Amino acid sequence: MGGKNRQLDGFTPMRVDFERASVTRAGHRILAGATLTLKPGTLTVVVGSTGSGKTTLLDLAAGLAPTGGVVKFDGIDVRGQHPTGVTVVTATPFLVAAPIRDNLGLGATYPETDLWDALRVAAADEEVRALPDGLDTSLADDSLRCRLALARAVLRRPRLLILDDATTGLDAATELRVLEGLAALDVTVLATAGRLPSAAPADQVVLLEAGRLSAPEAATRPANAYAAAG
């Protein structure tokens, strides 16, 4: 992975440590003893089948208290509190019937260069430039929804960015571009990927099977995780 681009003076990506974190609901173990470190400024991609526990793992990173073990943010257990600097993007984002510019800002004003930079990270800049009114086009294309939500999240410069199936509706080439864009940022990112090859830009790939987390694989050696998931 090449050099990262620090986004803001004094900005520091978050470190997250899962230490034998477990989640049990109604007597059913959903996540069992997960141990994982998200190093600051890295991209971690989680793969696994439906029901494997991926969303639960991401929920813990967003502040859900585990029923066993601990999750630390920058070395601190904030059990029962929502950690600051965390942004979550899901597959069904909230957008308003308004121009793209307003959906990105949601009441805040950003330099136009920042808007385009965020859209580039979300692999949406070319499509928005091709629209008749560009940033002032009213949102109508559902294919842009998740990418606009992602661009909006990038604009807010989170310390930890969580993507819960936010890219799974994209085609393979676009999903790869999005993850490549995120990998170049100095932000800690935890994401699920819809396709195994899309995880190539990740610093580490982890596999969840029936609530159990495999040992992380370096991005240069993801083959074992891919084979197990296949």
> For 118-145, how does the pLDDT look when each residue is reduced to its tens digit (9 = 90+)?
999 999 999 999 998 999 998 766 778 8
Residue with tokens 């942004």: 87
Band (92; pLDDT cuts 50, 70, 90): confident
More confident residue, 207 or 143: 207
Q: Region of 10 please: left (phi>0), alpha (psi -120 to 50) or beta.
A: left
- When pLDDT is cut at 50, 70 and 90, the band that residue 169 belongs to is confident
The 10s digit of each residue's pLDDT in 34-48 is 999 999 999 999 988
Give the pLDDT confidence score for residue 219 in this predicted structure.
43
Tokens standing for residue 37: 């470190």
Q: How far apart are CA 185 and CA 179, in angstroms?
A: 10
pLDDT at 139: 75
Q: What pTM does this model have?
A: 0.86
Locate tokens 């086009």: which residue? 137
pLDDT(225) > 80:
no
> Which one, of 142, 143, 132, 133, lies nearest residue 102 by Cα?
133
Q: Is the pLDDT of residue 16 over 50?
A: yes
- For residue 163, pLDDT over 50 is answered with yes
The pLDDT value recorded for residue 148 is: 94
Residue 16 half-sphere exposure toward CB, CA atoms < 13 A: 32
Binning pLDDT at 50, 70 and 90, where does residue 194 land? low
Rounded to whole angstroms, the Cα distance separating 161 from 153 reads 8
- pLDDT for res 215: 64
Confidence of residue 8 (pLDDT cuts 50, 70, 90): very low
